[in-house]
Structure 1
Amino acid sequence: MTYRMTFRGATVPAEPGQSVAAALVAAGILDWRTTRKEGRPRGLFCGIGICFDCLITVDGVPGERACLVPAADGMRLGDGTDTGDDPAGPGPGKEDGDAASA
């Protein structure tokens, strides 16, 4: 059974057992949010929930790590622009995923 999720108005297929991030990447979608300060594209980076680069909105819940959320049929995925501040992020004025912020 193939699941169907919605992202940016398009249907994204997913297989049972895939994460949201894996399904997006398999569909050719490599970024789904941008950094707040400089608008740099972000998507899957570490794949294990450590880096927070893959934040996405899932069914209206912002700030979900796409690499950890199992794909499910009918999921509505947001573009990550409404994820808000991440308490585990690098701090004010820093960009997640930038080497300078580490």
Structure 2
Amino acid sequence: MSEKITIYFEGKPVTVDAGVTVAVAVLEHSHSHNEGNYTSINPVSGERRGPNCLMGVCFECMVTIDGVPNQQSCLIVARDGMKVERQTHMQETL
């Protein structure tokens, strides 16, 4: 039996296996709750985008994590208490 952690996705608690990436956690939660498997919205077309390559090449899985925008969810391991939000547009980082 795997250790479980809780992240907060769009403000809702989500329990996932320790060691999974944020992308996997979001996809599992979205699929099981029929919320649509996407992590961001394309700022130009308005199209919903989600993890595609799962190895950091395509940048389709961008999310905001703990208030920091433009995070590649497929490269970041989920940690207990993490706050994850879908990203609706690209944000500038300082």
Superposition TM-score, scaled by structure 1 size:
0.76
Structure 2 counterparts to residues 1-102 of structure 1, below 5 A: 1-27=3-29, 28=31, 30-81=37-88, 83-84=90-91
Hey, what's the Cα distance between the residues in 1 that align with 2:66 and 2:92? Answer: 18
* Higher RCO (CA-CA < 8 Å; seq separation 6+): 2
DSSP-derived class of the 1:23 partner: helix
Letter in 2 for 1:25: L
Identical-residue share of aligned pairs (%) = 31
Structure 2 gaps, min length 5: none
DSSP-derived class of the 1:4 partner: strand
DSSP-derived class of the 2:8 partner: strand
Total equivalences in the alignment: 86
Note if contact 2:41-2:89 (Cα within 8 Å) is conserved in structure 1: no
DSSP-derived class of the 1:22 partner: helix
Q: As a proportion of its length, which structure holds more strand?
A: 2
RMSD of Structure 2 on Structure 1 (CA): 1.7
1:32-82, CA deviations, whole angstroms, 9 ceiling, x for partnerless residues?
A: 210001110011100000000000011111111000000000000121125
Structure exhibiting the larger radius of gyration computed from Cα positions: 1
Superposition TM-score, scaled by structure 2 size:
0.82
Note if contact 1:19-1:68 (Cα within 8 Å) is conserved in structure 2: yes
Letter in 1 for 2:26: L
Structure 1 runs of 4+ with >4 Å offset: none
